[in-house]
Structure 1
Amino acid sequence: MANAVWHTGYGIEINLSLPDLGHPGRPDLLREITASVAERDPQLLECLAHHYGRECLSETGGKSPWMFIRRGRAGGRRPLVASHLPITHKATPAESAQHKATKERVVETASRYGLEAEAEVPVANRRSVSDAVVTGPAGIRIGWEIQYHHLSPSSVHRRSANAVEHGITPLWVAKDRTASLIDRAPWARVDDMPWKDIADGKEMVIRGGYRHLQVWKCLPSSERHCLLSEGAGHCGAMHADWFVPALCLPEKKPVPIEDLILQSATGESVPVYVPSRSNGRAGRHMWVPAADSALWQEIVGEKTPLPAAPVEDEDVEITFAEQEIDRTCRTVLNGR
């Protein structure tokens, strides 16, 4: 994070800690630099250290030297801060082939089941395009988003919220355990397979993102740990939690992608959001059998809606500390 940036269009330094940004003759400057990166040149704002040829930590920290402006939090203050944009990942030929093969497999599988399916479907307001939309007999619309390379969490939230707003349930597909989309929207993880295997119909199972509800009484004879006790004790109460097929008791068979294509469109499998016990602002997205979802709602006593995408408060008053410009790169390298 930094308190100043270089404006490549005007060739000026911008001091984010000053009410006029150091340029009283440019009243629209704040609006220009806080515009969404999607609505401006991503290289409009540059790290000052990078511009002046000094050490820019972004170059070793997995970020780019290009910046975006956001409202920070520092105690009770809300200063403007500049942060480095992630390095834009362009799909390799192999990733592009995997993406195309997976998209075609979704459409072809759905059609084989007699479902309506279409590729490259623009959402009503054309702010995004779903890789494939599968429509079930009752009108359930599933928007398949094949994402085999990096996408920012904010983009996942924005595109998911846009889909839901237009009656489409998003279903994001990843191949990486560390993909940023995981648990930020309904998702499924598959193996990293060669595109030819995907196209040829080789078994493609869901490795993550699909779970089953397990209910058990917490007794010494139980094979599961107590959810309430930090130790190895047993409380005697009934517990319920979600497990991937391999960790169910007894173990359940993995779900092939063909089953998820069919069941998500027919409502036999549904998306569920389970808030974290320790942090109400966090939680897990997952696909589950509809019967398990109904039982879970009975157990918790209410239906937990999918969380809305976080919205930045545009009306919050910005705090200006009126500091000297810091031309040192302050990018955070720990990924937080």
Structure 2
Amino acid sequence: MANGVWHTGYGIEINLSLPDLGHPDRPDLLREITRSVTDREPQLLECLAHHDGRECLSESGGKSPWMFVRRGRVGGRRPLVASHLPITHKATPAESAQHKATKERIVGTAARYGLDAEAEVSVANRRSVSDAVVTGPGGIRIGWEIQYHHLSPSSVHRRSVIAVEHGITPLWVAKDRTASLIDRVPWARVDDMPWKDIADGREMVIRGGYRHLEVWKCVPSGERHCLMSEGAGHCGAIHADWFVPALCLPQRDPVHIEDLVLRSATGESVPVYVPNRGNGRAGRHMWVSADDCALWQELVGEKTPLPTAPVEDEDDVITFAEQEIDRACRAGEEGWFVSDGRPQRDLDQPTGGFTLPRMPVQRSGDSVRITAVERAAASAALGCQPWELGLCAGCGQLMRRHGRNTAMYCNVCRVLLNGR
């Protein structure tokens, strides 16, 4: 892999292994050379061997001596490497057929539901083209991006930002757990299946990217573990977290691509971004029901919009080895995976969730000291209406006290009273 390149515009040699690229007087140089080739002069960066008058293996092989810069992946490091153009993935006939069949299925589904749908929609003077745009009755526009081969994170962000700026909510479709778009933008993952099955209407389940909000009270009789304890303890607080349908209690029905076409366009399902509370630089994008989104925002007291600029996570931080430039042409050694495979990004684990502090014990005769957020959380965790909440006659904690088939004591107190 090449760690050096010639900048034809400035007439300078760039060392990609140095933090300042060998030019501390040009602080914007990194941003300039890592821009998408579609947004700059294609002949801006040149193979050093070609510039020095030596053999460029790419050119002698009938290809281009011009280059672009990307992040590599070597032993957990992310060095900058220069690769010859064109190296963008050319879809195989099977991938092209999959892509076309999925696009036609989305547009056809929208039409059956009475939604407006259009394929190959240009945005921002053709700076970006959505595979399909579905418009709901309320004017919601969903830009479906079917991405069955690798695309760099910067390209994913750039195209998503352009869509958002033009009133389109992006919805990226992947078939690979390692796809770089996962959790960087609103996304959905489907099975890798033959194009004929897609065209014939075979079931297309959303395997990743759609979640449900689960709220529960952390008590010994509960089926879920405590988010605050590494052991088997129970804190008595109310937890909330996001789960894929198969891990919900009880298990939820799977979401199909037809469901998401309809729900996203009508606003019944919406994209949310849930930050990782242990690391503010990372988080999860997901599609959820509008009701779950409203409850989550009420619980956590925040609204996180769609991203408007690229955000690096730990997996994208550039590492600089500070080496001498290797001036040999490395064409032919420039597979997209420099050495290591990409890690899985679509993980089924919960997000880390949110915990409301344990509510103070309430005593009958006192005014009930509970906030609107606590009341909403308690009613969700206990599966009852807010007006059904009341105080346990034993411990004074909130419980489902009013309505049909209710009791005076919570489950924990009933166990204690019965001596079990």
> What's the TM-score once normalised by structure 2's chain length?
0.63
Could you tell me whether the CA contact under 8 Å between 1:47 and 1:67 is conserved in 2? no
SS of equivalent residue, structure 1 residue 302? coil
User: After superposition, where does 1:16-55 map in structure 2 within 5 Å?
Assistant: 16-18=21-23, 36-38=36-38, 39-41=40-42, 44-46=45-47
For residues 3 and 20 of structure 1, what CA distance do their matches in structure 2 show? 20
For residues 180 and 296 of structure 2, what CA distance do their matches in structure 1 show? 27
Distance 1:250 1:20, change over 3 A: closer
User: After superposition, where does 1:1-336 map in structure 2 within 5 Å?
Assistant: 4-6=4-6, 13-14=13-14, 16-18=21-23, 36-38=36-38, 39-41=40-42, 44-46=45-47, 66-68=67-69, 82-85=80-83, 87-310=87-310, 325-327=324-326, 333-334=339-340
How many Å apart are 1:222 and its aligned residue? 2.0
Could you tell me whether the CA contact under 8 Å between 1:5 and 1:13 is conserved in 2? yes
How many Å apart are 1:46 and its aligned residue? 3.0
Could you tell me whether the CA contact under 8 Å between 1:130 and 1:145 is conserved in 2? yes
How many Å apart are 1:311 and its aligned residue? 7.5
Distance 1:228 1:307, change over 3 A: farther
How many Å apart are 1:283 and its aligned residue? 0.5
For residues 32 and 298 of structure 2, what CA distance do their matches in structure 1 show? 50
How many Å apart are 1:224 and its aligned residue? 1.5
Could you tell me whether the CA contact under 8 Å between 1:6 and 1:48 is conserved in 2? no
Distance 1:295 1:12, change over 3 A: closer
Distance 1:35 1:333, change over 3 A: same
How many Å apart are 1:232 and its aligned residue? 2.7
Distance 1:136 1:327, change over 3 A: same
How many Å apart are 1:328 and its aligned residue? 7.0
For residues 40-92 of structure 1, give each alpha carbon's deviation from its aligned partner in whole angstroms, at most 9, with x where no partner exists: 3278333669x9789xxxxxxxxx9944289xxxxxxxxxx953359522111
SS of equivalent residue, structure 2 residue 144? strand
Tell which deviates more after alignment, 124-133 or 112-121. 124-133
Counterpart amino acid of residue 46 in structure 1: C
For residues 193 and 181 of structure 1, what CA distance do their matches in structure 2 show? 20
Distance 1:324 1:245, change over 3 A: closer
Could you tell me whether the CA contact under 8 Å between 2:4 and 2:81 is conserved in 1? no
Distance 1:18 1:290, change over 3 A: closer
For residues 97 and 23 of structure 2, what CA distance do their matches in structure 1 show? 49
Distance 1:113 1:272, change over 3 A: same
For residues 284 and 31 of structure 1, what CA distance do their matches in structure 2 show? 26
Counterpart amino acid of residue 292 in structure 2: D
Could you tell me whether the CA contact under 8 Å between 1:203 and 1:256 is conserved in 2? yes
Could you tell me whether the CA contact under 8 Å between 2:9 and 2:44 is conserved in 1? no
Could you tell me whether the CA contact under 8 Å between 1:46 and 1:67 is conserved in 2? no
How many Å apart are 1:325 and its aligned residue? 5.0
For residues 168 and 8 of structure 2, what CA distance do their matches in structure 1 show? 39
Could you tell me whether the CA contact under 8 Å between 2:214 and 2:240 is conserved in 1? yes
For residues 163-193 of structure 1, give each alpha carbon's deviation from its aligned partner in whole angstroms, at most 9, with x where no partner exists: 0000000000000011110001000000011
For residues 261 and 306 of structure 1, what CA distance do their matches in structure 2 show? 19
Distance 1:2 1:220, change over 3 A: farther
Could you tell me whether the CA contact under 8 Å between 2:164 and 2:308 is conserved in 1? no
Distance 1:82 1:257, change over 3 A: closer
Distance 1:43 1:89, change over 3 A: farther
For residues 99 and 30 of structure 2, what CA distance do their matches in structure 1 show? 39
SS of equivalent residue, structure 1 residue 97? helix
For residues 282 and 199 of structure 1, what CA distance do their matches in structure 2 show? 36
2:367 matched residue in structure 1: none
For residues 280 and 203 of structure 2, what CA distance do their matches in structure 1 show? 37
How many Å apart are 1:221 and its aligned residue? 2.1
For residues 156 and 236 of structure 1, what CA distance do their matches in structure 2 show? 42
- Larger Rg: 1 or 2? 2
For residues 284 and 311 of structure 1, what CA distance do their matches in structure 2 show? 12
For residues 181 and 140 of structure 2, what CA distance do their matches in structure 1 show? 22
Contiguous gaps of at least 5 residues in structure 2: 16-20, 57-64, 72-78, 313-321, 344-420
For residues 216-267 of structure 1, give each alpha carbon's deviation from its aligned partner in whole angstroms, at most 9, with x where no partner exists: 1112222212112233322110000000000000000101111100010000
How many Å apart are 1:201 and its aligned residue? 0.7
Q: How many residues align?
A: 301
> What's the TM-score once normalised by structure 1's chain length?
0.78
Distance 1:93 1:253, change over 3 A: same
Counterpart amino acid of residue 41 in structure 2: R
